[in-house]
Amino acid sequence: MKGIIRVKAGKDFSTMHVQEIPSPTLQSGEVKVKMASSRINPVDMDLMKGFPTLKYKKPQIGGIDGAGTISEIGQNVRDFQVGDKVFFYRKFSDIGTWAEEITIHADYIAKIPTHLTPQQAGTIALPLLAAYDSLQELGAKKGEKILIHGAGGGVGFLAVQIAKSMGLEVIGTASGKDIDELKNVGIDRVIDYRKEQFANVLKKGEVNYIFDLLGKDILLQSIDLQPKKIVSVHYVVPEKMSKAGVNLPAILKWILSLTMTKFRKRAKRNGVELIGQVTGGNGQLLGEVSRLATEKMFVVREIPTVHLNEIEQKGLTKADIGKAILFG
């Protein structure tokens, strides 16, 4: 069978290529999955560059999320059967989904939303889990107001639907091309970031919560808006990295924490609770949001695709981020 293999660390995906690899051996607690699809997430490239303290396998298969059909069940796996359609997100310390067949611990998998195909589910595993896990952190109540930055992106578009299912009033920043689709899934207001600055059109205290997917100046300006809480995927809390299976040495934790000082200080000055978000493989949480997605019939947008055979011919580049890899 074929897989996309990281040959060595590189600046981008250029050191990865498709090669024949042996079919994986099933361990106790694992299932074997015939892959349908996997999204090329921004984090995939960071992981392929080489992440501090991670030990890469030989061969190291790329990819961290995806979906497919269970073809074999290992010992001590309960809740799943051969033929189940599942999706998953792995930990940084256990990557590898870009192959025709993979093995994965049953703790990381969940049945896909019943209104989706495995191919569709593989395009949303990480974005759906990241959006749900982040919004759970806020403890928001029905009727409160949230601003979601990057609402038109992979994570943001699902976050809008989760926030609406929580009964929240949702404002999003996005580019004009995404406005119609955001309105179709119930967003209350869109600020087109290419035409207007959110910091100029929203008043201090106007939103109760902010979900930040953009970081840097957007995060600083968000803090100045003085919501009760902000959850940000770009505010790194080193202790939380263990959720992704990464245990950083004390010196790296200290350096990382130092790079976050300006956000921490600004939040304190403005009386804002700033929550850093790291997503870790968690089949139970993914199962919860999968059931919510089924109940509310979440809309999944079609994204551009690239077949494994095409990658074999032309390789992977940064421009492929956001596309789905199709197997089989």
Ligand X SMILES: NC(=O)c1ccc[n+]([C@@H]2O[C@H](COP(=O)([O-])OP(=O)(O)OC[C@H]3O[C@@H](n4cnc5c(N)ncnc54)[C@H](OP(=O)(O)O)[C@@H]3O)[C@@H](O)[C@H]2O)c1
Binding residues vs ligand X (CB under 6 A) = 41-43, 126-127, 130, 149-150, 152-156, 173-175, 193, 213-214, 218, 233, 277-279, 322
Q: Which is nearer to ligand X, 43 or 311 (CB)?
A: 43
- Closest approach, Cβ 243 to ligand X, in A, equals 8
Strand ranges inside the chain, DSSP E: 2-6, 16-20, 30-39, 60-61, 65-73, 85-89, 101-105, 109-111, 145-149, 169-174, 189-192, 209-212, 229-232, 273-276, 305-307, 324-326
Q: Which amino acid is residue 77, in one-letter code?
A: V
Closest-CB residue for ligand X? 153
Q: Which is nearer to ligand X, 100 or 137 (CB)?
A: 137
173 in Cβ contact with 151 (< 8 Å) = yes
Nearest Cα to 116, choosing from 160, 73, 68?
A: 68
Q: Which amino acid is residue 223, in one-letter code?
A: I
- Closest approach, Cβ 154 to ligand X, in A, equals 4
Q: Which is nearer to ligand X, 31 or 210 (CB)?
A: 210
- Closest approach, Cβ 299 to ligand X, in A, equals 15
What is the secondary structure of 260-275 as a DSSP string?
Answer: THHHHHHHHHHT-EEE
Q: Which amino acid is residue 207, in one-letter code?
A: V
Q: Which is nearer to ligand X, 32 or 298 (CB)?
A: 298
Q: Which is nearer to ligand X, 70 or 278 (CB)?
A: 278
270 in Cβ contact with 205 (< 8 Å) = no
- Closest approach, Cβ 73 to ligand X, in A, equals 29
- Closest approach, Cβ 127 to ligand X, in A, equals 6
